[in-house]
Structure 1
Amino acid sequence: MERYVDGFVLPVPSDNLDAYREMADEAGKLWIEHGALEYFEGVGDDMEPDMDGMSVRTFPELAETGDDETAVFAFVMFESREHRDEVNARVMEDPAMDPDRSEEEMPFDPERMAYGGFRSIVNYKD
């Protein structure tokens, strides 16, 4: 089965990490409740990996994090793009998604978040 993934990379101010974790926890429960297969949010840990001399762009570079920020990587797994569209529509209609929530209350700047939908080309499972 071809899986579909929504992926995110974003900078989060270090002082807001606890508030972000709470928001992510609520979001994860909501996406799973509405049918997502998996929800993952991770905070940067090994952000300067030794790639044996190979030059790579790091997640902090990608997210353009400042000295007081950390990179967050997140993804939501779906059965297909159709399934993603159905789940996301249900999530957006859920009363828990308050459309009046102001950006000042957000623990990160949503305009600095990178997002994309990805169809799988290789997918292994245990």
Structure 2
Amino acid sequence: MERYVDGFVMPISNEKVDAYREMATEAGELWVKHGALQYFEGVGDDMEPDMGEMSMVTFPQLTETGDDETVVFSFIVFESREHRDEVNAKVMEDPAMDPENYEEEMPFDMERMAYGGFKSIVSYEA
């Protein structure tokens, strides 16, 4: 069975990267605890790559990132879509997800986050 991936892309204030990292660390531990195969969070580094003559949309253009923002790219890997649904249900039931446990506001704007589930069509691993 091919793996399944939940993917996320969002702009985030440069000033909130550390707060986001803390939140993402806790989230990663939670998803893996409940069965996710891999949890990845990356912050923009090479956001305006030189592609020579090739024209493409960059992540900052795609997310309409402001001058004081960067882009976060994230994904969670599961065995299958069914496995994803099972893991996500367990995560949502975990007491750690109770909104009353959050003292800080979210370090990003959820309305500017893009999300989707993807079935694997090609996958290589070392």
TM-score (norm 2): 0.95
Identity %: 75
Q: How does 1:13-32 map to 2 (within 5 A)?
A: 13-32=13-32
In structure 1, the residue corresponding to 2:70 is in which secondary structure?
strand
Q: Distance in 1 between matches of 2:66 and 2:93?
A: 34
Q: Which residue number in structure 1 is paired with residue 5 of structure 2?
A: 5
Q: Which residue number in structure 2 is paired with residue 67 of structure 1?
A: 67
Shift of 1:100: 4.4
In structure 2, the residue corresponding to 1:42 is in which secondary structure?
strand
Q: Which residue number in structure 1 is paired with residue 57 of structure 2?
A: 57
Shift of 1:101: 6.7
Shift of 1:24: 0.3
Structure 1 gaps of 5+ residues are: none
Q: How does 1:28-43 map to 2 (within 5 A)?
A: 28-43=28-43
In structure 1, the residue corresponding to 2:77 is in which secondary structure?
strand
Q: Distance in 2 between matches of 1:50 and 1:101?
A: 43
Q: Distance in 1 between matches of 2:54 and 2:101?
A: 43
- Count of matched residue positions in the alignment of Structure 1 and Structure 2: 125
TM-score (norm 1): 0.95
Q: CA RMSD in A?
A: 1.3
Code of the aligned partner of 1:91: V
Q: Distance in 2 between matches of 1:14 and 1:74?
A: 17
Moved >6 Å (runs of 4+): none
Shift of 1:69: 0.7
User: What do the CA deviations read for 1:9-59 (whole angstroms, capped 9, x no partner)?
Assistant: 001111111100000000000000000000000000001111121001111
Code of the aligned partner of 2:14: S
Structure 2 gaps of 5+ residues are: none
Shift of 1:99: 3.1
Q: Distance in 1 between matches of 2:100 and 2:69?
A: 26
User: What do the CA deviations read for 1:60-102 (whole angstroms, capped 9, x no partner)?
Assistant: 1111111111100000000000000000000000000023478
